[in-house]
Amino acid sequence: MFDAVRTPLPHSPGVGYKAQHFSDIMNDAGPVGWLEIHAENYMGMGGRPLAQLRHLSEKFPFSVHGVGLSIGGEGRLDADHLARLKTLCDWLQPASFSEHLAWSSHDNAFLNDLLPLPYTAATVTRIADHIDEVQNTLGRQMLLENPSSYLAFAESDMTETDFLAQIAARTGCGLLLDVNNVFVSATNLGYSPQGYIDDYPLGHVGEIHLGGHDEDADETGAPLLIDSHGCEVVDPVWALLDYTLIKSGPKPLLIEWDTDVPEWSVLVAETKRADAALNALSTVFA
């Protein structure tokens, strides 16, 4: 069984931690109330990366975000990968652990991408079994993140929001709602992002993520958005965040910026905007 009773992340802005910002964060974190790391970058046995984490963990709660478990894969989870993940979580004691609704490995091949799944009863069962194994091994609840999508499977017989609700109900896992992913998927697949939020099981959300995306066009000239995490959050995504927070109440908000990483001052400006979105709720939920 897993322990769902942990110290939660604060309802404040967080950022994805990058080593080049260590001194800036220690000297003046601005409105940043928590930090996220990618698990696979810290599965080594020591050295400067873990020393920096130890110092930071004395000041900030952490969220550990996995990108390599292949929760949606057809085969068994990689036992060695899961064991190293448990070692990291036992040492760091993060407030939150999350993974993607995606697959990235098959047999002995690892694909450096997060690949989509059809939304069917069989896929629900497979992913629920994998999440049960993760939660029981780690001894903690995990959050499952909605993907950014570029195609839809003809064999899907339920919506993504229904799929996530069934997974959460069956396993007791929480959900990580990435509102940029919602905007990217809705644009690429032609549905309403507000309608997606209306249908989303917001009661299970433990974190909300925000990131930048690139704009392109498909072969017909229609807009095609790419989830790149390499630029500022755009105004329509901030508006979708406001729409979501009105429905969900305050949540921990993470600014993700993983490519072309900017100066710390740029990230602080993004977190101030997230902080303003949370502060605006004070009159709504007073």
Tell me, what DSSP letter sits at residue 14? E
- Cα(20)–Cα(35) distance, rounded to whole angstroms? 14
Share of the chain above pLDDT 90, in %: 84
Instruction: Rank 5-19, 76-90, 108-122 by mean pLDDT and report only the highest.
Output: 76-90
Q: Is the pLDDT of residue 5 over 60?
A: no
In this structure, the number of other CB atoms found within 10 A of the CB of residue 48 comes to: 9
219 Cβ contact partners less than 8 Å away, ≥ 6 residues apart: none
* pLDDT tens-digit readout, 235-261: 999 999 999 999 999 999 999 999 999
CB 226 within 8 A of CB 214: yes
User: Percent helix, strand, coil in the chain (nearest 5)?
Assistant: 45, 20, 35
Q: Is the pLDDT of residue 206 over 60?
A: yes
Domains annotated on the chain, with CATH: 13-285 (3.20.20.150)
The predicted pLDDT at position 114 comes to 84
Average pLDDT over residues 29-37: 96
Instruction: Rank 7-11, 105-109, 244-248 by mean pLDDT and report only the highest.
Output: 244-248
Name the strand (E) or helix (H) holding 51: helix 48-57
Share of the chain above pLDDT 70, in %: 97
Q: How confident is the model at residue 112 (pLDDT cuts 50, 70, 90)?
A: confident
Average pLDDT over residues 27-33: 95
Instruction: Identify which has the larger pLDDT, 157 or 283.
Output: 157
Q: How confident is the model at residue 152 (pLDDT cuts 50, 70, 90)?
A: very high
CB 53 within 8 A of CB 63: no
The predicted pLDDT at position 108 comes to 76
CB 183 within 8 A of CB 148: no
Average pLDDT over residues 155-166: 97
> How far from 199 is each of 74, 117, 170, 244, CA to CA, in Å?
28, 19, 18, 11
The phi-psi region of residue 260 (left if phi > 0; otherwise alpha if psi is between -120 and 50; otherwise beta) is left
